[in-house]
Amino acid sequence: MRRTLGRLAVATCSLSLLAVLAPASGTAGAAESHASTAKYGKRVGYFTQWGVYGRDYQVKDLDTSGQAAKLTHINYAFGNVNSAGECFTGNVPGEADAWADYVRPLDAENSVDGVADTDTQALAGNFNQLRELKAKHPGLKVLISLGGWSWSTHFSDAALTPASRKRFVASCIDLYIKGNLPADGARGGAGSAAGLFDGVDLDWEWPGSPGDTDTVYRPEDRKNFTALVHEFRTQLNAYAKSEAPRGKKARHYDLTAFVPAAPKAIDAGFDIPRIMRDFDFVNLQGYDYHVSGEAVTAQQSALFAPGDFSVDRTVRDWVRRGAQPRKLVVGMPFYGQGWTGVSGGGDGLGQPATGPAKGTWADGSEDYKVLKNLAASGAYTVHRDRWNGSAWLFDGTTLWTYDDPKVLATKSAYVRKLGLGGAMFWSLDADTADGELTAAVDKGLDGR
């Protein structure tokens, strides 16, 4: 369900362009306030619904690792859209997991507040733990992220007409913002998750462009996506106004999206000047620039890469098309892409390979916490391109391209220098037990 870019040719990016977007002193963007501590920029981390199983990464781990104290937003991945074009949940293998979301009871050891769930409480599972996490970390926001690579199947249909857009958005607000979860025994019911989610993150991959094998896309997706974004903004604002006490200012629900790096995908699906009016910010794809399914090894997330995909190129492509820098949040990977059977010698980069390297959860992909141990084992050599902001491991046969704290510190300084909106991480469960990568970005964004 991670995002995939594929191989496309791009024009050269120049380091000299840094000065073009660099803000004047004191105008680098509004500071964020989280847990009463001033911080520069958003820090957005994806929490994966399925990570509570094999990975055993629980919501409590966000607290004990120190990650929650450094985040401004948690994106809960993912909510799904059914064939009727509505947000839904349930216990449908491969489609929805209400058990993980709000049914599964947590014992005291795995609960944020140290208290075991009871059989009679309406909200349990990840949703209840996220509620407890927010209570412990005031100012931390939780957004429901809709779609992802595997669950963007029905977005195009849901966005097709004014009527379908209204129905789609209303269903998502009812389920997640109003918190009207389907009853499952004692769990769920009207308002059972009310107040948990602070907004919506749209992960339609991709409007107007091919995505997963069963994902529908149309030429008219571009205008329909623009209208869908506006419909979300309109309905979120209307609901906020309706729930505000008389004489009190309505709360603001965040509306964000995960957006692509490939220029063809950008142009096919995103009317940037219009959608950015309704979005609070967007999370830029900053990884999977090259993937382990390719025949030649390459960087997957370099800050600069003349003549190739890079973070800098992605930022400039969005700004060139009308995006405000302060609304661009840079995606940073907490995993690596790997190849094996690498031949040709040297440091392994740019060399032919026989296929994806063996990974813990999927071939060709590995968590940072595992790659850190490989680097420390002595079996691999750590290589760096300090000028272009990338790193990789190579043992003569297997290569992993990844971001470590040094690379993320460089990227964070870049975000701050250009007055961008902050950093996004996919995904939080791949960090170390003490949140090493999250801490590196937090320190870098604050200029420490």
Active-site residues: which are they? 205
Report how far residue 96's alpha carbon sits from residue 108's, in angstroms, rounded to the nearest whole number: 26
7's tokens? 């191989």
Q: Which amino acid is at 252?
A: H
Tokens 């091919």 belong to residue: 210
Which residues lie closer than 8 Å to 55 by C-beta, 6 or more apart?
361, 429
φ, ψ for residue 388 (rounded to 5)? -100, -5
Please, are residues 47 and 140 in contact by the beta-carbon 8 Å criterion? no
Counting DSSP H helices and E strands in the chain, the numbers are 13, 21
Tokens 């870049």 belong to residue: 414
Please name which of 197, 102, 200, 101 lies closest in space to residue 142, comparing C-alpha atoms.
Answer: 197
125's tokens? 């599972």
Report how far residue 42's alpha carbon sits from residue 40's, in angstroms, rounded to the nearest whole number: 7
Please, are residues 74 and 159 in contact by the beta-carbon 8 Å criterion? no
448, with CB counted inside 10 A (0-12, 13-18, 19+), is exposed
437's tokens? 């990568």
Report how far residue 7's alpha carbon sits from residue 134's, in angstroms, rounded to the nearest whole number: 40
Q: Please, which residues bridge with residue 91 across strands?
A: 97
